[in-house]
Structures are given as structure tokens and as C-alpha cells.
Structure 1
Amino acid sequence: MSRVLVSVLAAVLAMGVLSPAAMAQPSPPDKKPPVSFGVRPANAAGPDSRTQFTYTATPGGVFHDFISVENISDQPLRLRVDASDAFNTPEGGFDLRARGVQNTDIGLWIKSGKDEIEVQPKSKVTVPFDIQVPANAGPGDHTGGVVASLTTQQTSADGSKVAVDQRVGSRVYMRVTGELKPQLTVERFDGTYRHSWNPFGSGSAEVGYTVRNTGNVRLAADQRLRVETPVSDGTEITGLPKVPELLPGNEFTLRRSVDGVGPWFFLTGRVHLDPIAPKGLQTPTLRPVNASTDFEAMPWSQLIILLTLVIAVLLYLRLRRPSTVEAPDA
């Protein structure tokens, strides 16, 4: 029996350089010696000082470049070299489309000069590739990666065959000239209140929202979030992470709660974003983003006590009302 293990994309996507964290270093189920390989930008003579591929292009432009593939294991490796589109994970991380998933953007524009290469132990191979920017390419940022991959058959602990696809890549950032529209949008902003049955205590508020990159350039952001009451500025939620760099069309969702919030019938959540553009690239003026949401915060325990007191007063008044006895007719 055989099954497929989801491919491994090494941390080289974070930097694009050869280091222990940038190598594909799996732990095979059948305990075979590990296979390690990596990639980095290069010129025709070999690896260079770049940590990633960065281009500025006009529609129809053509680029010729190189990637170095290094085998640091003790056995020869036959590797595939291709390209994939990039996307953000739900946590906001950077990732590339898995092998077999159709590319729709820059992954289609990149063509490797060699689909497969054989790399001898402890050696490097420099692979050329071309990027053909379509004449109708949209302005803004297009992001992907050049990937080296190795598929091996291994045996798991239960004896079944496992296809392990090890992948390691170097990021490719391309900005196509034209009208740039940096824009982050807050969507699906909501809030809930968890009340306390202690009439003298306070509850907690939880707010959540999604930040979507609705523009055409990649953006990160600093964020501030607070929960306000009708009578005060409320409480600022501290310890928020930065919104990670979002590629156009991608999103990041955050949920946070704050304690010590009183039940003021309704509360308001407010978020403020200060977008951050990629370093070294000219980007139009970035405008802050503000959004808010209102949600109920009913003081149920206080209302129950108040209702109980009202009923008690009414019963007390009724019991104290003097009774009227009519005298019999003479």
C-alpha cells in the first residue's frame, strides 16, 4: 500500500540563502541517511550575494537569470527545477503553491532552462531561467519562487510506501510598472461580549477581523485595537503583532479578547492600521485604515436583580394595601 506525504517547502523561502535553515532536510520514515540540498540566487559563474530575486519590469519585458542548486548530501541527486506562484498562509506566512497546483501568475512566466538536473555529492549546479512578462501583465507586485524538488519513495513505520516531495525555493519579487494602488481593507469585523453573573463584576469582550490586501502592491501594517464603551474610550488591546506582509488578494485574520469590560448595553471595537510598504521600492502615499463594529453587551445579571427588586417592591406594596370591608345593609 502506498500513500502520498504532503511536500515539504524549506525555510529558504524566508531568505533565499544557503544555511542550515534553508536546506531541505527531511527525516525519512525508514531512517535512511538524510538528503539535504538548497538553492540561492546566482550569476553564470555561481552563487552571488543576493538573498532573493527582485525585478522591476514593464509589460512585455524579458529577464535572464540563474539559480544555484547545491547538494550537501553524500549521494547524487536528480532534482526538478520549476517555479510556483506565492500566497499567504492563514497565519500570514509566505508559501508557494504545491507541485501540481495550477499557477496563474508569475509562476507561469518563469521558465527553467533545465527541467531536471543531476547534482553530484557536495557540489553545485547553476541553472539558467527566463522570465517573460506578458504584454498584458497588470501593474503592481507579482510574487513567486524558483523551486528545486526531489521526490523519493520511503517506507513508513507501518510498512506502507510514502512518496515524499522535498521542495526548497528562492523567492521572486517582481513589480510591473503602471498605476500602483496600495490598499488594505478590514473585513468581517465582529465582536462578542461574555458577561459575568457576578453583578459587581465585569466581563470580557472578544473582537475579530480580517485584513485583506485589496490593492496591487504587497503591504504589511502596524495595528492598534481598542474596545470602547458609550461613556469612555475603553481599553486598548496590547501585544498585537504586526499584520504580516500580505500579497495582493491575500488576507490575515486576527482575534483578540480583553478582560475587565463592563456591560454597557453595547460596545464598539475600533481598529487602526498604518500600512508599511516594502523597503527599497517607491510606493504611493500610504493612508491609514480605520474600521469599527458595534456589538451588544447586555448587563443581564444587573437586569435580573433590578427585575427581582421591582417585583419584590410591587408585592410589598400589594401586601401593605389596606383591605376594604363593606358594611352590611341596615
Structure 2
Amino acid sequence: MLSRPLALLAALLLSVLVAPAPAQAAEGEASWAIRTASNTYGDARQNFSYTLNPGATVEDALVVHNDGTEPITLAVYAADGFTTTDGQLDLLRTDQESHGVGVWVTAGRSTVKIKPGREKQVPFALAVPDNATPGDHLGGIVTSLTSEANDAGIAVDRRLAMRIRVRVSGELAPQLTVEDPHVDYDGTANPLGTGEATVEYTIHNTGNAILAARQEVRVTGPFGWAGRDAPDLPDTPELLPGERWTVSVPVDGVPPLVRLSAQVRLVPLLNDAAGSTSTLDAVEETGHGWAVPWTLLLVVVLVGGGGTGLVVRDRRLRAAVRETASASA
């Protein structure tokens, strides 16, 4: 059994390249490429994409080419997709359970052996369950080559995959929401200077379609004073239905106006089966945060405290004069 550090390292090495187009893997003499088969669904497709009714089935194929100088034997299987923390599409490992496309797809063979310079088709069938929910479902078909464990007991699993996107017929309800928007402020010792506001929020795909979004962020003081826009922000990665994506946006040049507001505006981007993108109605949400000019407040407190001391001493002096006048009378 691997030690915990070695097991962790082995898990980190279980990476997958999910190709949106024909792709190639290489390491030493073991090298292979994958692409979609040419058939009635099209030639030179970027990936596998279908619009199907619940209960429908399709048959298609993946082409695997051995670019190396030695025969290779690859494992073949399907898995559900997900978006990683760095915004890339990945597929579940074999020790993780799929519930969608990874279950709907059955490869015609579990392994494929290919001679150098040759290629083989790997047929697969996709069966959409009768009770499949309408909307987008994403997964992929994986080719995998696992090396033998080295002296440290670590085996590397190299995977190359092609994505499979299924849009199940029915009501398409794309929807993004902005959750927990708030502002943190890092000011300056100069009471009249500016600082950096950091706007944080979470984008939640609450609909049933895969969506990305254009982002706009603006920070203002009370009554909309001293508004500052975040620089051009990149579009978010595509989020699968149910997924969340946390965003942190720095905004420079913000004065400490005690109470800040952050307006977050998202324009959802929806891709259809043909690959064209359409924009949906914008989603807006506002968060708040404190930006207290502590140095300025300290000066006010000190000045106010000094003034109070002078008033107290003046009152005491006047009282002493009155007492002296009364005694001499």
C-alpha cells in the first residue's frame, strides 16, 4: 500500500486532457491521438454533440491512432464531466461514480490494442434514459494508459479524452444567479488617499443549460459617489448545471468612504449545438462592505478630545473666579 504522501502524488498525476478537437498525447515512445469518426453525424467534428429525446439511442465511434514506435494497449471508458477550480473541463476518475453521460455511454470494447502507425475505431452506444431531465449533460469517452509502478510505488495514469455533450429535449431554462456578493477593503495610512477594494461573489448555475458569463463590476461610495470600474474581466468558464464558480475581483483607486457598494453584472452566454453563442438577459446583484478611514477618525477623536479638555479647564477656571469673588465680598 502506498504511503499517504505517495498516494496523494499518484492521485495528482491522474490528469486528463479533454479535447475539444483532435488531440495527441506523448511521453517517450508511447504516443497516441484521438478524433471523432467520420459518419452520418459529420466529418472532422470538434467533439461529440447530440440533441436527443429521452429514451433515444445513438451509435458513434472514436478513432484512436498510435503515433509511437511500439504497440500500445489503452483502456477505454466513459465518465461524467465537471469544471475544475482553474476553469478547465475534467472527467471523473474510474474510482469515482458517474450518474449522467458516463453511465449513458457504453464503449464497444474496454481496451484497444494498436500497432505503431495504425489506428482503430472504438464504437460506442449512447442511451438516454426515459426519465432524463431536459437540458445539457456533459461527459466524455476516455482512453487511458497506466504505467507500471516505479521504485517509489507510483503509477502514472495518462488519459486522453473527447467530450460528449448531450442536450436532452424539453424545456431549456438557462439561469445564473449571483450569491453572497461582498466587498473587502485594504486602505492606506493617508486619510485622503485611496486603497484597493476586493469584490467577491459566487456564480451559481441554477438552470439546466451549460453557461458562461461576461462580467462587469463597479464599486461606489454612498449615493453612488466616486465610482470605480474593475478593469476588463475575462468571461467565466462554462459551468455545468448545478455548478458554482467563486470570483475575486480587485478594484484600485477606491477612497475610504465608510460604506462601499459593489454592483455585479453578468451577461449569460449560451452555446447551441452548432457552436454559436447567444447572450441572455443580464443578471445584477449588489453587495456591501466597510471602508472606514481610521486615520482620519483618529485625528478627529484626538482633536475632539483636546477641545473637550479645554472646555473643561475653562469651566473650572470660571468657577474658581466666582468663588474668589464671593469670598472677598
Q: Compute the TM-score of the two structures, normalised by the length of structure 1.
A: 0.89
Is structure 2 residue 200 aligned with structure 1 residue 208?
yes
Q: How far off its partner does 1:268 sit? A: 0.4
Cα distance change of structure 1 residues 9 and 189 upon mapping to structure 2, 3 Å threshold: same
CA distance in 1 between partners of 2:119 and 2:191 (Å): 71
The residue number in structure 2 matching 1:315 is 309
Deviations 1:124-151 (A, max 9, x none): 1101100011000000001100111111
The answer to whether the 8 Å contact 1:25/1:37 transfers is yes
Q: Which amino acid aligns with 2:255?
A: G
Q: Which amino acid aligns with 1:191?
A: V
The answer to whether the 8 Å contact 1:10/1:24 transfers is no
Q: How far off its partner does 1:229 sit? A: 0.8
Counterpart of 2:295 in 1: which secondary structure?
Answer: helix
The residue number in structure 2 matching 1:265 is 258
For 1:1-330, list aligned pairs within 5 A. Answer: 3=6, 5-6=10-11, 7-11=13-17, 13-17=18-22, 22-26=23-27, 33-43=28-38, 48-155=43-150, 159-231=151-223, 232=225, 234-279=227-272, 280=274, 286-320=280-314, 321-322=317-318, 323-324=320-321, 325-326=323-324, 327-328=326-327
The answer to whether the 8 Å contact 1:59/1:133 transfers is yes
Q: Which amino acid aligns with 2:271?
A: P
Q: Which amino acid aligns with 2:197?
A: A
The answer to whether the 8 Å contact 2:206/2:242 transfers is yes
Unaligned runs of 5+ in 1: 27-32
Q: Which amino acid aligns with 1:161?
A: G
Q: How far off its partner does 1:169 sit? A: 0.4
Q: How far off its partner does 1:239 sit? A: 2.6
Deviations 1:53-89 (A, max 9, x none): 0101000000000100111111111111110100011
Counterpart of 2:304 in 1: which secondary structure?
Answer: helix
CA distance in 1 between partners of 2:190 and 2:278 (Å): 52
Unaligned runs of 5+ in 2: none
The answer to whether the 8 Å contact 2:215/2:264 transfers is yes
The answer to whether the 8 Å contact 2:268/2:279 transfers is no
The answer to whether the 8 Å contact 2:195/2:255 transfers is yes
Deviations 1:252-306 (A, max 9, x none): 2110222221122210011101111104379998221001111112221111111
Q: Which amino acid aligns with 2:163?
A: R
The answer to whether the 8 Å contact 2:185/2:291 transfers is yes
Name the structure with the higher strand share.
1
Q: Which amino acid aligns with 1:269?
A: A
Q: Compute the TM-score of the two structures, normalised by the length of structure 2.
A: 0.89
Q: What is the percent sequence identity of the aligned residues? A: 36
**How many residue pairs align between the two structures?**
315
CA distance in 2 between partners of 1:14 and 1:38 (Å): 10
Counterpart of 1:36 in 2: which secondary structure?
Answer: strand
Name the structure with the higher helix share.
2
Q: How far off its partner does 1:329 sit? A: 7.5
Cα distance change of structure 1 residues 282 and 43 upon mapping to structure 2, 3 Å threshold: closer
